[in-house]
Amino acid sequence: MAGKFVSERNIKFLLYDVFDIESLTNYPYFSDHNKNTFNMVLKAASKLAKDKLFPVFEEMDRSQPELVNGEVVVHPSVRDILHEYAEGGWISSIFPYDVGGEQLPSMITEVCHFIFACANYSAGAYSGLTSGAAGLIISFGNKALYDRFVPNMFSGKWQGTMALTEPEAGSSLSDIRTVAEPTDGDYYTIKGQKVFISAGDHNCVENVVHLMLAKIKGAPPGVKGISLFVVPKKRMENGQLVSNDVTTSGVFHKMGYKGCPIVQLDMGDAGDCRGWLVGEPNNGLRYMFQMMNEARIDVGLGANAMATAAYYASLEYSKSRLQGRRASEKEPTKPQVPIIEHADVKRMLLFQRAINEGALALLMQCSKYVDLLQVLPEVEKENIHLLLELLTPVAKSYPSEMGIQAISQGLQCLGGSGYCDDYPLEQYYRDARIHPIHEGTTGIQGMDILGRKVIMKNGRAFVLFQEEVVKTVQAAEAYPELLPFSKKLADALQRCRNITAHLLTVAQSQGIEVFLADAVLYLEMFGIVTIAWQWLKQGVAIQKQLGGKVSKNDLHFFTGKMVVLRFFYSYELPKISGLEERLLESDGLTVKAGTDCFID
Amino acid sequence: MAGKFVSERNIKFLLYDVFDIESLTNYPYFSDHNKNTFNMVLKAASKLAKDKLFPVFEEMDRSQPELVNGEVVVHPSVRDILHEYAEGGWISSIFPYDVGGEQLPSMITEVCHFIFACANYSAGAYSGLTSGAAGLIISFGNKALYDRFVPNMFSGKWQGTMALTEPEAGSSLSDIRTVAEPTDGDYYTIKGQKVFISAGDHNCVENVVHLMLAKIKGAPPGVKGISLFVVPKKRMENGQLVSNDVTTSGVFHKMGYKGCPIVQLDMGDAGDCRGWLVGEPNNGLRYMFQMMNEARIDVGLGANAMATAAYYASLEYSKSRLQGRRASEKEPTKPQVPIIEHADVKRMLLFQRAINEGALALLMQCSKYVDLLQVLPEVEKENIHLLLELLTPVAKSYPSEMGIQAISQGLQCLGGSGYCDDYPLEQYYRDARIHPIHEGTTGIQGMDILGRKVIMKNGRAFVLFQEEVVKTVQAAEAYPELLPFSKKLADALQRCRNITAHLLTVAQSQGIEVFLADAVLYLEMFGIVTIAWQWLKQGVAIQKQLGGKVSKNDLHFFTGKMVVLRFFYSYELPKISGLEERLLESDGLTVKAGTDCFID
């Protein structure tokens, strides 16, 4: 396997032309950085991705993690990769200097994670989890917890995880049963079971640090009684790491994403599992949601990365594979043409780009909001925070759901070869299916956007979103080439507004169940409008560039992207019509359908 | 693994209530059969599926075929299963008595294949291929060929295949390079290579009989120079099977559908490969298309079967898995509910049924046409033949494309468990991805329906189709419960007509490439309208039954199906709006986009 798996050209276009990352360096927090340092970081990330991650992409899939003598054995390259991550400072780079980080903007660190995930999502997952877990300790834990855990996490010696899911509580966190009992010491005694814990155990680290949800004995029922603990696999006693009574009782055999183990953990079988409380009791879910929101955006990023790599693999094949002749050519003795010359293959390639490059822009948009939250004065943060909250379920689910479709079209470009493991498409197809599931299913994201985000603060976030879209529409109106699209986006936004208003009346008249019944369709509609906005935003940046002097390569790049923009508006945006028809119906069909209608 | 994988209730509803299979027994050809014999056949098929096929569904996936010492080794149960197939007469059952068959209607044999495929698609593929290959010899070969090959195929001792695809000629059959050179004997010498040949070699049969496309030396270029040959793996000499110089040079490792090998074959490496011409020279493609058309419908059937089994697996899980509370329940101490009570889970289950049961009706419709072609007077056959031709690409692609979406939703019902191999959903997801590829990709089906079927005989087939839909609309108008749907279908048909007329003007004004550029979208739109028609047809049958006396179970069944019908019209039919917007645009976007727009 060789070849391109990511477009640095497109990344730089997004960073510099669309989202103007350089403007961040005017703020003191980011003032040590500039375009040169950003480019150096990008170059280092690309090198690591190319040299270490991509070469074992396939191999890690072929030798999935297994539980051997109570320990999960993963591909040996994980150790090397974690070492490289630590050496390069990738685990800590987003954090402030004072906790050992590099104060890099989220936009840059996310783009680097994107590059890693394009090369090998599984390999990148380990350090991403560690980084997120360390972030929770940094944000909500005390100095003692920091000292005890974070340095070893940043050095890649210890793995971090987020341990939420339990056998009887998947999406329903209020039903977790893991119990924490106070002791005389600085710790609690933990007893319970967790399932589906990513990187929850493996043999390439000395220790695993679980950021774990549990209920303190006597805590209130439901989500209000959830606390957050640090529960390590091994704890330090007299300068030695000893067992902390966390047993790996199983490793799941997954369809894909096989480079990273997902395990089942039993805590406290011997009555000797210790956990250290993070922050205040019963505030665990709130803390966890910091990590969860980042993790959700990271899932979107990972999904987008897989689909991007799949696109380049299918593009390479489509350019080199000779097959058939153009539909207008009737002479069978003429030589066969590369399949990229067939309109239907171009359609499948453009579809992939329309999804991928649109979604990547949204993910960059979210990262920009994260960066602004770091630097803006308190009073300006609220709006940015609301926008980020509103867009998080979209940033998680659109790339996940549509990335699968994009990869499927990539696979289809290869025909029978796409179904066989001589090419990487079948692996991308298997790998990507995790994304609509982990860190909150698409169903959960639907309820989040419609049942919480759109209505929070009296619909303030939704109003802000509309303002942002309108700004882009207005900016686009300066360019005649963009007028057809700015009109379509304005119309789509109006329809999105109408649908939302309609559903809010449904909530009043028919109650919450009917209101939320088609939340997933609402999310899909919202996602399409959002990506249309991001495409128009890119269109404005393109037109700005085309107004100046551009190289021949840039001209190809920009005109190519304009074709993809047109494609999105012609093939994808119209999909909101069908969704709109259903969303305006609101007959409560699925609510009213009794379970007895499934009898046959 | 245990549980339901198919609904006999729904099958009987389709056979008896919707498509009135009993009416066929009025024709002399089918007069030996009646409802009792049909039910006996169904019962036997269900027993075989349950006892022999379903138990090894998972196992056959876990031990994929491997090439060992030049022979493909498959799961040992294949031998037993082929034996059972032969014993039960399943390989020959559709053929006339005089060639060793049982003259069963296609509707019954297809439903039996469906049941087999629900239980284990891979296991059923072997005999289906043998049956199709034997059919080609029976239809177009002479008595000598029949005697030499067919009895051993019907007895399950010899495997049959269709050998079309070559390394340099996938979808472009006009470019095949396998050469047949005449000899003084009754055979030709064959030299060439074939790839992706399903069941092309394995150790559970004595011999493999390839129905192979090749070009006789000096034949005209393109598809007009293709002939059909029988090329066995071994040939009979002096009462002994000896090598026929057909070498298995590779077995493909596929993402799914692992129970059945797909191989690469080299013919004539030693200059001693013999092939026997079937029918006339240069007519091979026409002959092959008999088998191909059947095979395409069988692909649709197989896709539909996988999605059906996946539905029942996800239904079982959804009924038993407790998780969360209804959206209107705010009290976390209340017990958790089965997830089937969540509207979004019901939506995912209803989606699966809407796709599966709609598509199965279409497949039965096609089988009914096949049966009518067997018995109707010559003069009435033409119309039926045209309808079958028109609907074949839909019957192939709709269940294939939408079956994948249905299975994906089934997997989603299980959350993380759906992604792990403790449950069968991940296997269905992998298995099903072959269907939009084999026997003509969806792209090929799109060009077939729009570029050939809709316009053939001056659009006669399309006119007949509209007449059939209108008949159903009119029948539905007798039932007030169906009025909303008959109106929607009439409207959808009108839009389908408008789109078609529009595209025909595009063909005139902009040429064939722009005309066909969005053929896949046209096929998708056509598929949705077709399935809406089939749902309304079922609606009429349901209302008829509800007008009489029905048991409590039947009442559940019929009211459940009415909910699914409503679901299809509310959630699926509106999708034609988005497709319509794009199809009416016809700006040739993908035709005009140069390959240089993929530079970045």
Chain B neighbours among A 269-288 (CB < 8 Å)? Answer: none
| B120: closest CA of chain A, how far (Å) | 19
Q: Please judge whether B563 and A593 are an interchain contact, meaning their C-beta atoms are less than 8 angstroms apart.
A: yes
Task: Quote helix, strand, coil % in chain A, to nearest 5.
Answer: 60, 10, 25
**Of all residues in chain A, what percent carry a pLDDT higher than 90?**
95
Chain A neighbours among B 352-381 (CB < 8 Å)? Answer: none
From the list A512, A587, A590, the residue facing B346 with the nearest CB is: A590
> Once rounded to an integer, what is the mean pLDDT over residues A285-296?
89
Q: B176: which chain A residues are within 8 Å (Cβ-Cβ)?
A: none
Q: A518: which chain B residues are within 8 Å (Cβ-Cβ)?
A: 347
| A242: closest CA of chain B, how far (Å) | 32
> Once rounded to an integer, what is the mean pLDDT over residues A134-160?
97
* Burial (CB count <10 Å: 0-12, 13-18, 19+), residue A329: middle
A68-82: per-residue pLDDT in tens? 999 999 999 999 999
The pLDDT score that the predictor gives to residue A2 is: 57
From the list A344, A519, A553, the residue facing B446 with the nearest CB is: A344
Q: Which residue has the tokens 């309208």?
A: B529
Divide the 600 residues of chain B into consecutive groups of 10 and give the mean pLDDT of each group: 86 98 98 97 97 97 96 96 95 95 96 98 96 96 97 97 90 90 98 97 98 97 95 96 97 97 97 98 92 92 98 97 89 92 97 98 98 96 97 98 98 97 98 96 97 97 98 98 98 98 97 97 98 98 96 94 98 98 97 90
Give the strand pairing for B66-68 and A262-267.
Answer: unpaired
| A562: closest CA of chain B, how far (Å) | 9
Chain A neighbours among B 145-184 (CB < 8 Å)? Answer: 165, 168-172, 174-175
Nearest CA in chain B to A174: B332
From the list A315, A332, A426, the residue facing B222 with the nearest CB is: A332
Q: How far apart are CA A446 and CA A448, in angstroms?
A: 5
Query: Is residue A38 predicted with pLDDT exceeding 70?
Result: yes
| B542: closest CA of chain A, how far (Å) | 14
The amino acid present at B520, given as its one-letter code, is V
pLDDT band at A113; cut points 50, 70, 90: very high
Q: How far apart are CA A407 and CA A418, in angstroms?
A: 10
Q: How far apart are CA B241 and CA B564, in angstroms?
A: 55
> Once rounded to an integer, what is the mean pLDDT over residues A392-415?
98
Nearest CA in chain A to B12: A600
A502-545: per-residue pLDDT in tens? 999 999 999 999 999 999 999 999 999 999 999 999 999 999 99
> Once rounded to an integer, what is the mean pLDDT over residues A428-440?
97
Chain B neighbours among A 491-530 (CB < 8 Å)? Answer: 511-513, 516-521
The pLDDT score that the predictor gives to residue B2 is: 57
Query: Is residue A120 predicted with pLDDT exceeding 50?
Result: yes
Q: Please judge whether A589 and B567 are an interchain contact, meaning their C-beta atoms are less than 8 angstroms apart.
A: yes
Q: How far apart are CA B37 and CA B22, in angstroms?
A: 11
Look at A329 and A115; give whichever has higher pLDDT.
Answer: A115
Contact A499, A525 (CB under 8 A): yes
Q: Of A439, A463, A467, A443, which is closest to residue A453 (Cα–Cα)?
A: A463
Q: B449: which chain A residues are within 8 Å (Cβ-Cβ)?
A: none
From the list B254, B556, B600, the residue facing A599 with the nearest CB is: B556
pTM of the predicted protein model: 0.97
Q: How far apart are CA A19 and CA A364, in angstroms?
A: 8
Contact A407, A425 (CB under 8 A): yes
Q: Please judge whether B443 and A344 are an interchain contact, meaning their C-beta atoms are less than 8 angstroms apart.
A: yes
Q: Does A7 touch chain B (CB under 8 A)?
A: yes
The pLDDT score that the predictor gives to residue B448 is: 97
Q: How far apart are CA A94 and CA A216, in angstroms?
A: 32
Nearest CA in chain B to A342: B591
A224-238: per-residue pLDDT in tens? 999 999 999 999 999
Chain A neighbours among B 55-114 (CB < 8 Å)? Answer: none
Q: Please judge whether A349 and B598 are an interchain contact, meaning their C-beta atoms are less than 8 angstroms apart.
A: yes
ipTM > 0.85 (yes/no): yes
DSSP H helical ranges for A414-518? 425-432, 442-448, 456-476, 483-510, 512-517
Q: Give all domains of chain B, ordered by start, each with its CATH number.
A: 8-152 (1.10.540.10), 159-283 (2.40.110.10), 287-330+339-583 (1.20.140.10)
From the list B172, B451, B578, the residue facing A575 with the nearest CB is: B578
Return the H-helix or E-strand segment holding B73: strand B71-73
Nearest CA in chain A to B510: A328
Q: How far apart are CA B190 and CA A89, in angstroms?
A: 63
Q: A196: which chain B residues are within 8 Å (Cβ-Cβ)?
A: 416
Q: Please judge whether B255 and A430 are an interchain contact, meaning their C-beta atoms are less than 8 angstroms apart.
A: yes
Q: Please judge whether A336 and B168 are an interchain contact, meaning their C-beta atoms are less than 8 angstroms apart.
A: yes
Whole-number average pLDDT of chain A? 96
* Burial (CB count <10 Å: 0-12, 13-18, 19+), residue B186: exposed
Q: How far apart are CA A289 and CA B521, in angstroms?
A: 41
Q: How far is CA B417 from CA A93, A247, A253, B317, B413, in A?
A: 34, 21, 10, 10, 9
Q: Of B134, B52, B42, B55, which is closest to residue B85 (Cα–Cα)?
A: B52
Q: Does B250 touch chain A (CB under 8 A)?
A: no
| B405: closest CA of chain A, how far (Å) | 10
What tokens does B204 get?
């559970």
Nearest CA in chain B to A429: B430
pLDDT band at A67; cut points 50, 70, 90: very high
Q: Please judge whether B590 and A347 are an interchain contact, meaning their C-beta atoms are less than 8 angstroms apart.
A: yes
Q: Which residue has the tokens 């090439």?
A: B67
Q: A347: which chain B residues are within 8 Å (Cβ-Cβ)?
A: 517-518, 520, 590
Q: Please judge whether B327 and A512 are an interchain contact, meaning their C-beta atoms are less than 8 angstroms apart.
A: yes
Q: Please judge whether A175 and B332 are an interchain contact, meaning their C-beta atoms are less than 8 angstroms apart.
A: yes
Q: Please judge whether A254 and B170 are an interchain contact, meaning their C-beta atoms are less than 8 angstroms apart.
A: no
From the list A7, A430, A521, the residue facing B430 with the nearest CB is: A430
Number of helices (H), then strands (E), in chain A: 18, 12
Q: Calculate ∠ Cα B151-B364-B358, nearest 5°.
A: 140
The pLDDT score that the predictor gives to residue B180 is: 98
- The DSSP string of A367-429 is HHHHHHHHHS-HHHHHHHHHHHHHHHHHHHHHHHHHHHHHHHHHHHHTGGGGGBTTSTHHHHH
| A421: closest CA of chain B, how far (Å) | 6
Chain B neighbours among A 390-409 (CB < 8 Å)? Answer: 404, 408
Query: Is residue A377 predicted with pLDDT exceeding 60?
Result: yes
Q: How far apart are CA B54 and CA B74, in angstroms?
A: 17
